[in-house]
Amino acid sequence: MVSREGTRPLLVEVQALVDDSQGSPRRMALGLDFQRLSMLLAVMHRHGGIHTSGQDVYVNVVGGVKVIETGSDLAVLLACASSIKEKALPSSLAVFGEVGLSGEIRPVPNGQERLKEAMKHGFKHAIIPKANAPAKDAPQFKGINVIAVERLDDAIESAFEL
């Protein structure tokens, strides 16, 4: 995911493990707000068609980074969906976007800078909020396949078509 540290874009890996629970389902978030993870999982169930009831969910931000901005929402849910579907997302995929309670993908601050940072590091695909999408003829974004989405279900579908 492309997060922000102050005003700088920061590339961070998000990992998720979703597995059948042996009793009461557990949720654990390292580097993320636990309450936000719970809310995002509910949104994924309602608006993404993927449920985690009866399953343990573990999410980790690699490297001990603490992410507090909402631009990580979409990356967290795609990582969880990847674990549930047992299908890895491409390593060349960058993601950012806030997820609203009704499943909409909201824009985040400094979207263009985040996209430029992903390109600098060799990412070939990016799933981002439609409102953060660059103009179709923007020459500085020619080397990356930008997938602009408005809804969570569209983002999940697009991620697994890559």
- What is the model's pTM? 0.95
123 falls in which pLDDT band (50, 70, 90)?
A: very high
CATH, residue 14: 3.30.230.10
CB 112 within 8 A of CB 131: no
Asked if residue 111 has pLDDT above 90, the reply is: yes
| pLDDT in the model for residue 137 | 78
- Reported as a single tens digit per residue, the pLDDT across 47-63 is 999 999 999 999 999 99
**Assigned token pair, 88:** 């890895």
The 8-class DSSP code of residue 135 comes to P
Strand, helix or coil for residue 61: strand
Q: H/E element holding 29?
A: strand 27-30
Measured distance CA(57)–CA(75) in Å, rounded: 15
Question: Count of domains in the chain?
Answer: 1
- Cα separations in angstroms, 32 against 3, 15, 16, 58, 162: 12, 11, 12, 11, 26
Instruction: Let me know: does 11 contact 94? Beta carbons within 8 Å.
Output: yes
Residue 18, token pair as written in the block: 């979703």
Radius of gyration, CA atoms only, the chain:
15
Question: Taking 90 as the threshold, does the pLDDT of residue 5 lie above it?
Answer: no
pLDDT at 138: 81
Contact in structure between 1 and 49 (CB atoms under 8 Å): no
The answer to whether 151 touches 47, Cβ cutoff 8 Å, is yes
Q: Which domain holds residue 65?
A: 2-161
Rounded to whole angstroms, the Cα distance separating 77 from 99 reads 9
* Arithmetic mean of pLDDT, 109-134: 96
Is the pLDDT confidence value at 103 over 90?
A: yes
Average pLDDT over residues 8-33: 95
| Model pLDDT, residue 85 | 97
Q: Which amino acid type is present at position 33?
A: D
Q: What is the mean pLDDT of residues 83-91?
A: 97
Q: Which long-range contacts (CB under 8 A, 24 or more apart) does 133-140 make?
A: 140/116
